[in-house]
Amino acid sequence: MLLLTVCFGILGFGSAFAQNESAKARFMNDMTKAIYVKWPTSITTLDVAIVKNRELFNELQLANSEGLGLYAKNLNIQLYNDPKEISKANIIYVHHTDFPNIDRLIDRFKNEDCLVIGENYPFRTSMINIIEQGDEAFYEINTDLIGSDNIKLRSTFLKRRANSAEQWSRMLAEAEAEIDKKETTIRHKDRTIAVKQKEVKETQEKLSVTSDSLDKSQEDLVVTSEKLVIASDSLDLAQLLVKQKEQRLEAERKLRIVFIILLVLALAVVFFIFNSYRLKQKHAEKLARLNEKITKQNLLLEEKNREILDSIRYAERIQRALLPTDRFIKEHLQRSFVIFKPKDIVSGDFYWMEKVGNKVLYAAVDCTGHGVPGAFVSVVGHDGLNRALREFHLSQPAQILDKLNELVDETFEKGEEEIKDGMDMALCAIDYDKNTLEYAGAQNPLWFIRKRENAPLMVNGEAIEPVMEIDTHLLYEIKAEKQPIGKYADRHPFVNHTIQLKKDDTFYTFSDGYADQFGGPKGKKFKYRPFKQLILEQQGKSMQEQKEIIESIFESWKNDTQTTSEGFEQIDDVVVFGVRV
């Protein structure tokens, strides 16, 4: 019984720690799709070479047999024990422990249409270098090693890579720590198996002692029988015969009783062992059927998740196509920056910009929610802003917000169900001929920073007081209307604010995602006052330097590990739009 338990334990232990290559398989799968890598049109079938890793080879074979999804190439997947055996390939995977000298492999295929993907190599030593952590694969890219001009890496793929040796070293250390943790668990299981084996051995020794005791009892019975025979010689022959007969009968009766008892006990033990074995067999068969069902459901769920993720990623491409390009922004707002950080793949926040005559209009918009629901609302907002300009020929921010509110209400009232979603925004218009800035806001204010020697700030002809200041600059806050775009009971027209601009005036519009982000040493929100202080302290720097500092502080705040070991998840979409004249 105990031996069977230990054997089943060993089998369960081996199954629990089987290597899971699904994260790398998904990563390798994505490399064949047009959304990450633009392969030459002349290549209709991608040759994929896997070095030694049979689990990854099986995962890719399974994915290839079930179909790879939108924009995928046909795959020819081969498993090799030695990289020297590879004569032709478009994608090569190799692990650091299997082939440390990856530079030799890269030199062989550098000028061919081939991507070498290494795992757990030092920073920038492979074309693409990956680390697997749990169910995810992280990567960094050395484009200098990709010699083929025919292979183009998509910007969405490049943006998600690790950008520094320090970041890569940290991720590599985390992966190695995860491996050490698994090895510690394996050693603990080995010790448990050793204890079980010792218990089995002790039980076998006890059974051996019991067997020896029974043999000794039988010998004692033989000796006693001999003594009885010797004692009977002193009795009369008749009495001896009677007693011997009686003794034989009694002995036979006792032997029958002992035999029956032993037989019953033996049958009981056999029945118990057989019944236990039968129950375990049924339980094992039931578990096997259940595991098979769970495996099929997991595969189906993974396929559905991949299809949904492909759809959402395609929606991301559509949403980003609606945003103004960096070239268009720099052409009309030469000293400016935009920080855009969606919480999910698609975003509920967006930024918008158009040029109408001598005016440049732009906005930072925060729609209700984030992810897919927020993205749907953002499309309504983007369309409404364009219609206000092109269809209704409006250029004053307040009038545009009033018209946008009408268009959003009109869109959401078409259905039977009442929708209360909407958006907050700060909308600005810069008139370069008049050198003025117009602003109107729905919930979101405008932060305006002016040099101290250029003070005061006149808004609609009236001077306003700064809310924060340093030696060289003053920060003013032009408050928004306390009403959103969308369903609202106490609706009133938006107010237009006009400011005469002076050289080096800088102004910022934003959503609430930056100030509401949890993080830092105490795990609290960043909040607006520190956000104002941060922006005010960067006024001596260029707009590009400001962007890099503001983004860096956001990531440091979010990823602070003093409260939690893994930092904090981003809780909302983030958009920050800064302009300097």
- Residue 485 · residue 404 · CB < 8 Å: yes
**What pLDDT, in 10s, does the model give residues 76-121?**
999 999 998 998 998 999 998 888 889 888 988 888 889 999 998 9
Contacts 24+ apart (CB under 8 A), 65-72: 66/299, 66/303, 68/29, 68/32, 68/33, 69/29, 69/33, 69/306, 69/307, 69/310, 70/33, 70/35, 70/310, 70/314, 71/33, 71/34, 71/35, 72/29, 72/32, 72/33
The one-letter code for the residue type at 19 is Q
Q: 12 and 196 in contact (C-beta within 8 Å)? A: no
From CA 524, how far away is CA 307, in angstroms rounded?
A: 37
- pLDDT surpassing 90 at residue 404: yes
Average pLDDT for 259-268: 89
Q: Is residue 68 over pLDDT 70?
A: no
Q: What is the mean pLDDT of residues 139-167?
A: 81
CA 31 to chain CA centroid, Å, is 18
Residue 463 has pLDDT above 80, yes or no: yes
Q: Of 163-172, 404-413, 445-454, which one has max mean pLDDT?
A: 445-454
DSSP 454: G
Give CA separation, 414 vs 76, 408, 417, in Å. 51, 10, 9
pLDDT at 210: 67
Say what angle helices 165-231 and 2-16 make with each other, to 10 degrees: 170
pLDDT of residue 183: 65
Which residues are CB-neighbours of 559 under 8 A, at least 6 positions away?
519, 567, 568
Burial class (CB in 10 A: 0-12, 13-18, 19+), 499: buried
Residue pair 145/121 in contact (Cβ under 8 Å)? The answer is no
Q: Are 382 and 322 in contact (CB under 8 A)?
A: yes
Pick 179 or 424 by higher pLDDT.
424
pLDDT band at 3 (very low <50, low <70, confident <90, very high): very low
Tens of pLDDT, residues 493-540: 999 999 999 999 999 999 999 999 999 999 899 999 999 999 999 999
The tens digit of pLDDT for each residue in 198-252 reads 887 887 778 777 666 666 766 766 666 677 667 556 666 777 777 888 888 888 8
| Separation of alpha carbons 269 and 274, rounded Å | 8
Integer angstrom CA distances of residue 114 from 162, 205, 281, 522: 21, 63, 51, 48
User: What share of the chain has pLDDT > 90, as a percent?
Assistant: 40
Residue 176 has a pLDDT of 67
Under 8 Å between Cβ of 486 and 448? no
Average pLDDT over every residue of 453-472 = 95
Q: Mean per-residue pLDDT for 312-320?
A: 73
Count of Cβ atoms closer than 10 Å to residue 117 Cβ:
22
Report helix, strand or coil for 317: helix
For helices 397-412 and 371-390, the axis angle rounded to 10 degrees is: 120
Cα–Cα distance, 68 to 46 (Å, whole number): 12
**Alpha helices, H only, 353-441:** 371-390, 397-412
- pLDDT at 128 > cutoff 50: yes
Cα separation of 92 and 78, whole Å?
A: 10
Partners of 430 in beta bridges? 360, 437
The reply to whether the predicted model has a pTM over 0.75 is no
The rounded distance, in Å, linking the Cα atoms of 37 and 157 is: 8
CB 385 within 8 A of CB 411: no
Structure tokens, 21: 């290559």
Say whether pLDDT at 9 is over 90.
Answer: no
How much is the pLDDT for 556? 93
* Contact predicate 364/351, CB 8 Å: yes
Rounded mean pLDDT of 50-67? 84
pLDDT for residue 225: 61
**Tokens of residue 486, six digits:** 């969308």
Res 2: pLDDT:
29
Where is average pLDDT lowest: 13-17, 516-520, 551-555? 13-17
Answer yes or no: is pLDDT of 143 > 50.
Answer: yes
